[in-house]
Amino acid sequence: MTEQSNEGEAGLQLPEMIRSYDPLVCCLCGSRDATTLLECLTGRGMTSDSRIVRRNLKKVQCARCGLVRDGLPFAASELEQHYSANYTLNVAKSGEEHFFYSASGAMARSRLLRDWILALKPETKWRAGMRVLEVGCGQGSLLSQLRGSFPSAHFYGIDLSADAVALANAKGLNVRQGGLETLAGEEYDLIIAFGVLEHVPNPQTFLAQVRELLSDDGEAIVGQPMQNVPSYDIFFVDHLHHFTTDHVRFLAERAGFAEIGHLASHPSILNFSLHHLRKSRPVPDATLPNASASKCAQAIKTYRGIFSALDDALAKLEDDERIAVFGTGEVFTLLYTYSNLYTVKIVCGLDDNADRRVNHNWPFPVSSPDQAKAFGASTILLCVNTMYNQLLLSRISELGLNPLRVLYMSEKLEEGWLSAPMSVSALAQMVEATGGRLG
Ligand SMILES: [Zn+2]
């Protein structure tokens, strides 16, 4: 996979606060006392939009409040790499969106987020004429969903990516390029920020800026990865902070919000929490979070175990093994960044959206699964969230791919990698007999 450059984005003014990240001080409690949780000095780091960049990974945990943060300083050029035109999470091609799969079918990320937000702030609480701003809105998928649900409200967005803003504008959305400071003096009734707080250098400053833009009875909804459960986003070099729900509540209180409520662990995105905040008075003596609630250390141990178990499994394969990977998204990128997977020859990747832009970066062809027979894979490696194991084992069987073995992560992650070394028909029977719980 090629590392990305910043060509074509000269002149982008990054917010001053982004330049000022200080890895030596906890932004939440001010303590300088911290322990190193994770250090990976290979010069290979994964970003949250599934790119591999030249950066070491270091995460430290505050000894006082338990907040985990990035332990390395950022050069201005690296920050631009993170937040400028290359930031592709919600951009890609127009209309291209992440889908979650469940027993009831596929659901677009934006639809899922809209439903989750409405579970927290019910439809009856949305007023006609209210002004709603989404910070970090990408190409505007969530804004479109909300506009469809509340045509009498006014929707606005901002994003740092020029590409994303252009796509959002093409949908007729009122979206501008920039950070919060570009909105100074404006007023909104509701500000939504999903997947933003973990990226900003100073989350408390960010929340205070959000508060400045709110009307007197204004509200905010913030959603981000949550460390009350083990989450592999600890391996993302562009997630500067790793919060528990308690850390978010504390930050919000200090910044001048009261928490109306929060939801944690959506069934399709278990490691996220969504917080509903009401403008209030800052609470300078808010109760410090319980430092032991963070599961970051456990996540690191679990996923390092998965990486090394994969290395062991790969070492046992023959040199002329024809390896195909099923799934070329986030889980694959995680494995490709931090295990030895990038050192083995992969004959093809299988992806339902084979022509996604990110798939052009891999040093192997990416094909749709129904074309996969042509590659004659002898081993298929499932590189997906374990909740999709059963689905993919069934599909491999239906497609008649006939590999010698399928390697997949156990749903009990600490068990590492399992192998189904059998014929496809036997595999199908096994999936049926166990209800998919092969682990
Ligand atoms: Zn702290």
Strands laid side by side in the 154-159 sheet: 174-177, 154-159, 131-135, 188-194, 214-225, 269-279, 257-266
Dist. CA 354–CA 376, nearest whole Å: 18
How far away, in angstroms, is 49 Cα from ligand 1 center? 27
> What residues does the ion ligand 1 have nearby, CB within 5 Å?
26, 28-29, 31, 62, 64-65, 67
How far away, in angstroms, is 67 Cα from ligand 1 center? 6
* Residue 325 CB neighbours (<10 A): 27
Dist. CA 42–CA 50, nearest whole Å: 17
Q: Minimal CA–CA distance to 84: which of 157, 18, 34? A: 18
Amino acid letter for position 255: A
- pLDDT, position 104: 66
Q: Are 136 and 159 in contact (CB under 8 A)?
A: yes
Task: Give me 85's structure tokens.
Answer: 């035109």
Task: Give me 128's structure tokens.
Answer: 């006609």
Domain ranges of the chain: 16-83, 299-434
- pLDDT, position 113: 94
Q: Are 438 and 406 in contact (CB under 8 A)?
A: no
How far away, in angstroms, is 219 Cα from ligand 1 center? 26
- pLDDT, position 83: 59
How far away, in angstroms, is 238 Cα from ligand 1 center? 19
Going by their DSSP bridges, the two strands 45-46 and 52-53 should be labelled as antiparallel
The CATH number of the domain covering residues in 299-434: 3.40.50.720
- pLDDT tens per residue across all 439 residues of the chain: 333 333 223 333 444 445 568 899 999 999 999 999 999 999 999 998 888 988 899 999 999 999 999 999 876 666 665 655 455 544 444 445 677 766 666 788 899 999 999 999 999 999 999 999 999 999 999 999 999 999 999 999 999 888 899 999 999 999 999 989 899 999 999 999 999 999 988 999 999 999 999 999 999 999 999 999 999 999 999 999 999 999 999 999 999 999 999 999 888 888 999 999 999 999 989 999 988 999 999 999 999 999 999 999 899 888 888 999 999 999 999 999 999 999 999 999 999 888 887 788 899 999 998 888 888 888 999 999 888 888 888 888 888 878 888 999 888 877 878 877 555 555 555 555 555 444 3
Dist. CA 69–CA 64, nearest whole Å: 13
Write phi, then psi, for 44 (nearest 5 degrees): -115, 120
How far away, in angstroms, is 63 Cα from ligand 1 center? 7
How far away, in angstroms, is 29 Cα from ligand 1 center? 4
How far away, in angstroms, is 294 Cα from ligand 1 center? 12
Q: Are 237 and 57 in contact (CB under 8 A)?
A: yes
Which 3 state secondary structure label does DSSP give 267?
coil
Torsional sign, CA 174, 179, 182, 188: positive
Report pTM.
Answer: 0.86
Return the residue matching tokens 């200080």: 22
* Residue 45 CB neighbours (<10 A): 22
Q: Which residues sit opposite 93 in a β-bridge?
A: none
Helix (H) or strand (E) holding 268: none
How far away, in angstroms, is 11 Cα from ligand 1 center? 35
Q: Minimal CA–CA distance to 304: which of 414, 439, 419? A: 414
Which 3 state secondary structure label does DSSP give 128?
coil
How far away, in angstroms, is 332 Cα from ligand 1 center? 32
Return the residue matching tokens 């981000």: 224
Task: Give me 405's structure tokens.
Answer: 């073995």
Task: Give me 437's structure tokens.
Answer: 């719980």
How far away, in angstroms, is 69 Cα from ligand 1 center? 9
Which 3 state secondary structure label does DSSP give 171?
coil
- Any residues with CB less than 8 A from the CB of 72 and at least 6 apart, and which? 23, 55, 56, 58
Q: Are 273 and 224 in contact (CB under 8 A)?
A: yes
Q: Are 303 and 417 in contact (CB under 8 A)?
A: no
Helix (H) or strand (E) holding 52: strand 52-53
* Residue 123 CB neighbours (<10 A): 8
Q: Are 191 and 218 in contact (CB under 8 A)?
A: yes
Which 3 state secondary structure label does DSSP give 426?
helix
